[in-house]
């Protein structure tokens, strides 16, 4: 199974609109919160193998291999 691609722009917009519309935060506060959440999600979706560091979109979970040709990541580090 290939990991579903992470759409950061879509998530960013949803977060900003949520905090502005529902929580009545200022535009600057909502942008700051959204940036922090997006950074955290990008880090969470990276391979934890220090030699690899590619996005999990470039990995096949079932065979635990990286799809990038010049990568020596053979096994997921959890």
What whole-number distance in Å separates Cα of residue 47 and Cα of residue 55?
Answer: 6
**pTM for this entry:** 0.69
* CA 64 to the chain's CA centroid: 18
Q: What is the pLDDT of residue 19?
A: 97
Q: What is the pLDDT of residue 12?
A: 94
Q: Containing H/E element for 30?
A: helix 27-44
Q: What is the pLDDT of residue 1?
A: 47
Q: Mean pLDDT per 10-residue run, the chain (78 residues)?
A: 70 95 96 95 76 66 61 58
């Amino acid at each position: 199974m290939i990991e579903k691609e992470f759409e950061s722009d879509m998530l960013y917009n949803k977060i900003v609109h949520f905090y502005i519309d529902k929580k009545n935060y200022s535009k600057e506060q909502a942008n700051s919160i959204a940036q922090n959440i997006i950074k955290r999600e990008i880090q969470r979706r990276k391979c934890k193998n220090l030699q690899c560091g590619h996005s999990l979109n470039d990995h096949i979970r079932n065979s635990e291999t990286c799809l990038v040709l010049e990568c020596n990541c053979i096994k997921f580090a959890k």
